[in-house]
Amino acid sequence: MSSSTFGSSSMNATKGAFAYYAANNSIIVSGHDQNQAIAEFPVPAILDVPTMAELNISSPPTQNFRNMLNIQVNPDGIDRINGMIVIDGQLILNAEKWYAAGGGSGDTTLVLRDANNIGGEVDGYYKLTGGAHSGGYLSSIPAEWQSSFGGSEYMTGWSSVNSIFSRYSIGPSLWAFDHATLLANSQQSGAITATAYMDFPYAGTNYLDPGGLRIGTDPASAMWNYRSTAVYGFIVPGTRTFACFGGSAGILDGIGYKITQDTGNLCSGYCPYTASDVYSYYWLFDVQEILDATEVHSPRPYEYGAIDIPFDGSGAYPPIGGSYDPASGVLYLMLAARKAEPPYSRYDRMPVFVTYQVN
C-alpha cells in the first residue's frame, strides 16, 4: 500500500484492523498506531509473485484517513482499533484501551453509519458483553450455523493481544452478538448483548492450555503461551471449523520476561530467548464441540501449529489482522508492518496483504 499521508494518517506502523468491503472491492483499514484513523483503499489485482517488489501497490484511498476514536466522548480513553466489519453498508468497529492498568472492560464498539462516508455520523460508544474478551475481530456466522448460535448472524472475539494479560481470553474466543440493535440506530450508546460460546478467562486455570503460561528455557506450549495472539477468527462455510490466525513464539527454546535475546536485543516484555523462534500460527476448532461444551473454556483445537505464509519473514511478521468475504470465499490477512523494501523509503514500516481462496 502507499506510504504517503492521506488526510490525518498513513499506513505506516498500522496495527492491523481492517475490513474487506465487498460492495466496493476495497478495504477499510486503520492506519498509523498513533492516529487510529481509518481510510478506504481499493484492492488492486491480486498477484502470485515470489518477491515483495513485484506485488501490486494499492492506488490512493477513495476515502482519506479520519480519526475515529475521539469523535464521540471517550471516557475510557479507548486508543486502539481491534477489528471491523461492514454490515448492510454500516461499519462496526471494535476498539479498546491498549494499556488498561486497572484491567477493566469498559467501552468496546462504535458504528460508522455509512461506510461510504468516513466523515459521516458515528454512534457509540457501546459496551459489548465480555468487554476485552469479545471486543476484537468480527466475522459472519454461516447460515447453516446461525440457529445453533441463537439466531445470531455475526460473531466477535479476541485474545491476549495487548497489554495487561489478565483482562483477556487466554486463547481465541467466540461470542455471538446482537448486531441488529447496533444497525437499527435505536440507541446512541449502552450495552450490546453478546453470548460467550468459547472463552478462556484468566481466573483459575481456564486457559486454552492450562499449563501453557510458563517462562524459562524449556519449550513453551505449542498450543498457547505468553506470546500467542489470535487476531482473526471465522467459521469456514460448509464445514465444522472455526479457524483462527495470528502468531506465536518460543516453541523451541522457551520464553522469558524482559530478557536479553540471543541477538543481544533487550525485550520490553515477554519474548523468546531465541529471536528467530517466532511463527505465523493457526488454530482450528470444531464448531460442534464448541456448541456442545459444558464450559466455555472446555474446547480445544483439533489442529494447530506454524503456518508458512508468503512474505512473513519466517514468522517475524505474522498476521496482525484479517477479514473473510463469504461471497467470494477469499480470506484476507494483513502481515505485520516491516521495514520497507523498494520502491518504499527505508524509513517506512509497511504491511503486506496476502489472500487465500478458501475451499
Residue 153 counted as domain residue: yes
Residue 45 counted as domain residue: yes
Rounded to 10 degrees, the C-alpha dihedral 11/14/19/21 comes to 0
* Percentage with pLDDT > 90 across the chain: 80
Residue 39 counted as domain residue: yes
Structural domain span for residue 140: 18-357
Cα 170 → chain centroid: 15
How many separate domains does the chain show?
1
Give the pLDDT band of residue 104 (cuts 50, 70, 90).
Answer: low
* Long-range CB contacts for residues 331-338, cutoff 8 Å, separation at least 24: 331/234, 331/355, 331/356, 331/357, 331/358, 332/18, 332/20, 332/27, 333/232, 333/245, 333/309, 334/14, 334/16, 334/18, 334/29, 335/280, 335/309, 335/311, 336/16, 336/247, 337/12, 337/13, 337/14, 338/313
Rounded mean pLDDT of 326-347? 82
Cα 200 → chain centroid: 17
Residue 6 counted as domain residue: no
Residue 13 counted as domain residue: no
**pTM higher than 0.75, yes or no?**
yes
From CA 65, how far away is CA 29, in angstroms rounded? 9
The residue written with cell numbers 496495527 in the block is: 15
Sort residue 217 into left (φ over 0), alpha (ψ -120 to 50) or beta: alpha
DSSP output for 16-35: --EEEEGGGTEEEEE-BTTT
CATH of the domain at 268: 2.115.10
Residue 11 counted as domain residue: no
Residue 4 counted as domain residue: no
Q: Is the pLDDT assigned to residue 341 strictly greater than 80?
A: no
Residue 170 counted as domain residue: yes
* Percentage with pLDDT > 70 across the chain: 96
